[in-house]
Amino acid sequence: MFVLALRSVRKRPGRFLSTLLSAFLGAAIVMTFNAMLDTAGQPGVDSVSSESLTTSASVVGGYGSLLVFFAIASTLTVNVRQRADEIELLRCSGATPGQIGRMVVGEAVVVALVGAVLAIGPGMLGGTALLRVFHDSGQVSRSVEYSFGPVALVSGIWITVLAAAGAAFLAVRRATHRRQPRSGARKFLAYAALLAGGAGVCSTFAVSSTDAALMAPAAYGAILLSVGFALLSPRLLTGLLGRLAPKSPSGYLAVRNMRRRTAELSGVLMPLILFTGMATATLYMQAVESDAIRASGVAKSVDAKNLETLNLVVVGVIVVFSCVMLINSLYAATTYRRREFGQQRLAGATPGQVLGMIGVEALIVTVTGVFLGTMAGLAGLLPFTAVRTDAAWPDQGPGIWLTIVAIAAAVTLGTSLFTARRTLRTPAVDAVATAA
């Protein structure tokens, strides 16, 4: 089956471009930060520099590993869903679920391995640039030289390959066994995340305003709340759509289609909520912390600089992966609707009305994701601000939040409309006949 998987990748490479991009970016980020462990392990590195390098590698490397899995999982889930007819044909031809699973997992491993190998060069360049940032900020001594060794290389390749294999196994298992979604387990996990996030946020008030760990409970609380909202996104979106009654043809088509596709749209809402919630909480908390240190007249310690660097880098990693997940999911999902668009046009809808429908769908998804993510971010930010500055609201203006919203809207609306516009270039009759 591995030979069949390799043949499948070589025959239709375009099908796996999204997975290849996710694997490439994930491996590059993991290698970039885990190279700091190789650098810290060199002889003659002082303890302060070693701690800064090890902390950055451990924290961001952990986040990076999780994001690699979720990014690859999102693309593979869409890929397997779109190949439902092919998988059913293989089943009817005598292939067992195990054989189909090994083929899909083999495809994912091949693509992930190629992506990881291609990421070695960018990972080395990224590690060099990161060490230069540590040099300039004084977190690492300038005498420490960069090293790209076995830790970065092995971890980057193996984390990417294992994430791809695991994500492919889960995606194809659901497709071949025809299991219904376990809404009960999803609901339990969602409420557990919300409960844990609320407890984390509330525990912020038990920490001293000068404690270095003050940001941790608020930040992790906001992250867990974002996860809880993301898991509940299908139910929340269904409730919202039930209250909408647009009058325009495009709006009516959009709401009608979204009511049938809430499960698919949750795959877009999840990274959108996580991105908005984590970016809002982390960036504003860091701005509040920096202003508080500046107002006290005390110079930033190495630990404070490490924390600031990690916060900014973690948000950067989240932005990159969230954008990749959004673009991949939206591109694949919109392209897959070619037949639906053709049927609507044959039924009398104009290309402009179809584009308007896609625009309304993207707008509703964007507003919903930004709103839920903002609520999760504020839930962590406001307690942190109250403890750190004795103020009910941060002094920083809406500029950071508006930038976050602009990125989310540009990615969601831009990808949806661009992909739909390309799809609509195919004549309606050809679109229906080709997809049938």
Q: What confidence tens digit (pLDDT) does each residue in 158-215 have?
A: 988 988 888 888 777 766 665 555 567 778 888 998 999 999 899 999 888 877 778 8
Check residue 7 and give its pLDDT.
Answer: 61
Three-state secondary structure of the chain: CHHHHHHHHHHCHHHHHHHHHHHHHHHHHHHHHHHHHHHHCCCCCCHHHHHHHHHHHHHHHHHHHHHHHHHHHHHHHHHHHHCHHHHHHHHHCCCCHHHHHHHHHHHHHHHHHHHHHHCHHHHHHHHHHHHHHHHHHCCCCCCCCCCCCHHHHHHHHHHHHHHHHHHHHHHHHHHHHCCCCCHHHHHHHHHHHHHHHHHHHHHHHHCCCCCCCCHHHHHHHHHHHHHHHHHCHHHHHHHHHHCCCCCCHHHHHHHHHHHHCHHHHHHHHHHHHHHHHHHHHHHHHHHHHHHHHHHHCCCCCHHHHHHHHHHHHHHHHHHHHHHHHHHHHHHHHHHHCHHHHHHHHHCCCCHHHHHHHHHHHHHHHHHHHHHHHHHHHHHHHHHHHHHHHCCCCCCCCCHHHHHHHHHHHHHHHHHHHHHHHHHCCCCHHHHHHHHC
At 210-254, the pLDDT tens digits run 777 788 888 888 888 988 888 888 788 778 777 777 777 767 777
User: pLDDT truncated to tens, each residue of the chain (436 aa)?
Assistant: 555 555 665 666 556 777 788 888 888 888 998 999 999 989 888 888 898 888 878 877 666 676 777 777 777 776 776 676 677 777 787 777 777 778 888 888 888 899 999 999 999 999 999 899 888 878 889 899 999 999 999 999 998 898 888 888 877 776 666 555 556 777 888 899 899 999 989 999 988 887 777 888 888 888 889 888 888 887 887 787 777 777 777 677 777 777 777 767 776 787 888 889 888 998 899 899 888 888 887 777 777 777 777 777 777 777 777 777 777 777 777 777 778 888 888 888 888 888 888 888 888 889 999 999 999 999 999 999 999 998 889 988 899 999 999 998 998 888 888 888 888 888 888 777 765 4
